Amino acid sequence: ELKDNTIIIVLGASGDLAKKKTLPALFGLFRQNFLPRDVKIVGYARTKMDKVEFDKRATSYIKGADENPELANQLEAFKQSLTYVSGGYEDGESFEKLNEHLEGIESSYKSKECNRIFYLALPPSVFIPVTKNIKDHCYVTRGGKNRIIIEKPFGKDLESARSLLSSVKQYWSEDETFRIDHYLGKEMVKNILVLRFANIALGAAWDKNHISNVQITFKEPFGTEGRGGYFDEFGIIRDVLQNHLLQVLTILTMERPVSFSAEDIRDEKVKVLRAIPPIEKTDTLLGQYVSANGKPGYLDDDTVPPNSICPTFAACTLWIHNPRWEGVPFILKAGKALNEAKVEVRIQFKDVTQGIFKDIARNELVIRIQPNEAVYLKLNSKTPGLYTRAIPTEMDLTYKRRFTEAKIPEAYESLILDALRGDHSNFVRHDELDYAWKIFTPILHWIDGQNGVRPKPSQYPYGSRGPKELTHFVEKFGYKRAVEAYFWPVTNM
Ligand code: BG6
């Protein structure tokens, strides 16, 4: 763990990711005293600005200081740790200048050791020159650690990902590299391993003999809104399925690791990924939102090329060829501009043996990742009173109710802390990414029109549940809606 003499350098400090996620997460850690003592945070980007301007931008997403004097004080203290350097990404001289700035800070250290953490909140176009320039000009060799945190997109398909990763690898060792998938920092995603392996009752039912189908769902109630330029080049599959949802699937299905060490966990993740064949076209449903209820359609976004057929919704069914999971469909689905904000895992168990019960609802275990974190098990119980009917009800662990005092950390807070501690278990290893791309590359090439006509996504209205074909799609893979509408009591909210 890094304690003293640490500088965190945020590259791309004037961009969206830094402003919305990285810097607020650093502040979150700072105010809870999780950052190393006397830490310094250095912003770096092309934009020329002075410290006052940078401080303002860096803290613009931190809310509540006006009403909370304690927070305001902490924010002032945080600003003391910030400095800013402007410079280009491609030229060595700019990085020399950055290095001088860092050495200036380090000259006050009592010991020679210094640690530098480089956080790249940058577009992929400058990834390679930046990783090289940092290594050539800003890498410390007089004791202490250098670490680099990078974030998707890691390429667009297997080939481009391999070339990107191998360039980074020329300069940075696996041990120094932290590849973020921020879903791995989410509390409920981290909870999956505990739910599975610390509960014999759940663990016992976790296989093809008991589970009929699994859905991992990501829903956002807004469209690309100005981010269309980036999005159109990637599409929802690269944006969400290939990384965030596949990571959740991996943790949900991997075998029990020998220990909680990073390599033991990631070895198991890789094993299950290797058992997943590339997705079939016939197991895929694509959609694109159109204008409805006064909300703009995807093509109405000025940053989107006219006539784009980029999917903003996708459902893909994956299969795992191993003894635990053979035959169980895993449906990953994600969409922009849907009817609600929700990310959840829904495990639907098989029917009980018929006979004494007919048409009885199936058990479902739902892990709600966000918002309003919860784990609930839908189960049948006897209707209270002088009846013998079974009724679907639930065992409910809603975090807000059960852990009233707990503050759930932001994913980025938890991951930056891991990187400071040198713990790789919630970061993506290079071989994991390689297998992840193998699973998705063929359908991505099909969607991009590399082997012929590009498939046209089905249209769905902004604010709807997705393409109308979705109901049939999930039913085709065995999902059964309860006969009796499941009633979720209002007190849960
Ligand atoms: C990002 C995607 O990786 O994840 C975005 O690029 C998406 O399109 C975001 O909105 C969702 O993250 P979260 O933490 O809000 O669920």
With a 6 A CB cut-off, is 418 part of the ligand 1 pocket? no
SS3 366: strand
Tell me how far apart the alpha carbons of residues 89 and 131 are, in angstroms, rounded to a whole number: 10
CA distance 462 to 97: 48
Any ligand 1 atom below 6 A from CB of 232: no
Find the catalytic residue in 101, 182, 210, 244: 244
Question: How far, in Å, is the centroid of ligand 1 from the Cα of 146?
Answer: 28
Residue of the CA atom closest to atom 5 of ligand 1:
239
Q: How far is the CA of 151 from the centre of ligand 1 (A)?
A: 12
- Tell me the H-state helices in 332-480: 399-402, 411-421, 430-447, 470-476
Residue nearest to atom 2 of ligand 1 (CA): 239
**299/86 Cα distance (integer angstroms):** 36
> For the packed helices 430-447 and 262-274, what is the interaxial angle rounded to 10 degrees?
30
Neighbours of 367 (CB within 10 A): 22
Sign of the four-CA dihedral 263, 435, 245, 419: positive
Residue 106 Cα to ligand 1 middle (Å): 36
pLDDT, position 225: 84
Q: Which helix (H) or strand (E) holds 392?
A: strand 390-398
Burial zone of 159 (CB within 10 Å; 0-12 exposed, 13-18 middle, 19+ buried): exposed
CA of 482 to the centre of ligand 1 (A): 31
181 Cβ closer than 6 Å to some ligand 1 atom: no
Ordered mean pLDDT values, 10 residues apiece, the chain (493 residues):
86 93 96 91 96 93 89 94 96 97 91 92 92 96 92 94 94 97 97 97 97 98 88 95 98 97 97 98 98 95 93 98 98 98 98 82 96 96 84 94 94 97 96 97 96 93 98 97 58 43
240 CA to middle of ligand 1, Å? 7
Give phi and psi for 53, each to the nearest 5: -65, -45
Whole-number Å distance, alpha carbon 241 to ligand 1 midpoint, is: 11
The DSSP code for 33 is T
239 lines ligand 1 (CB under 6 A): yes
Question: Between the CA of residue 93 and those of 133, 134, 225, 388, what are the distances in Å?
Answer: 9, 11, 37, 80
Counting every residue, how long is the chain? 493
Q: Which residues contact 492 (CB under 8 A, 6 or more apart)?
A: 396, 398
Residue bearing the CA closest to ligand 1, atom 11? 240
**Mutation pick for ligand 1 pocket among 22, 183, 240, 414 (CB with most ligand atoms within 8 Å):** 240
- Distance between CA atoms of 299 and 228, rounded to whole angstroms? 9
Determine the atom of ligand 1 nearest the C-alpha atom of 231: 8
Q: Which pLDDT belongs to residue 30? A: 96
- From the alpha carbon of 370, which atom of ligand 1 is closest? 16
* Strand residue runs (E) in 220-319: 284-290, 313-318
Q: Beta strands of 1-145 (E only): which ranges?
A: 6-11, 40-45, 82-86, 115-120
Q: What are the structure tokens assigned to 347, written together?
A: 């495990």
Instruction: Indicate which atom in ligand 1 lies nearest the CA of residue 186.
Output: 14
- Interval between CA 367 and ligand 1 midpoint (Å): 18
Is 472 a catalytic site residue?
A: no
Ligand 1 site-directed mutation target among 220, 246, 342, 343, most atoms within 8 Å of CB: 220
Residues contacting residue 490 through CB under 8 Å, at least 6 positions apart: none
- pLDDT of 491: 47
Pairing verdict, β 458-461 and 330-335: unpaired
- 3-state DSSP helix/strand/coil % of the chain, to nearest 5: 40, 20, 40
Q: How far is residue 447's CA from residue 235's CA, in Å, rounded to a whole number?
A: 10
Q: Could you tell me which residues are beta bridge partners of residue 348?
A: 213, 364
Residue 416 confidence (pLDDT):
97
- What pLDDT shows up at residue 484? 58
Residue 411 CA: which ligand 1 atom is closest? 14
Report how far residue 359's alpha carbon sits from residue 379's, in angstroms, rounded to the nearest whole number. 14
Please say whether the beta carbons of 416 and 118 come within 8 A.
Answer: no
Other residues' Cβ atoms within 10 Å of the Cβ of residue 382: 11
Amino acid at 360: I
Contact status, residue 200 vs residue 350, Cβ threshold 8 Å? no
What pLDDT does 371 receive?
A: 96
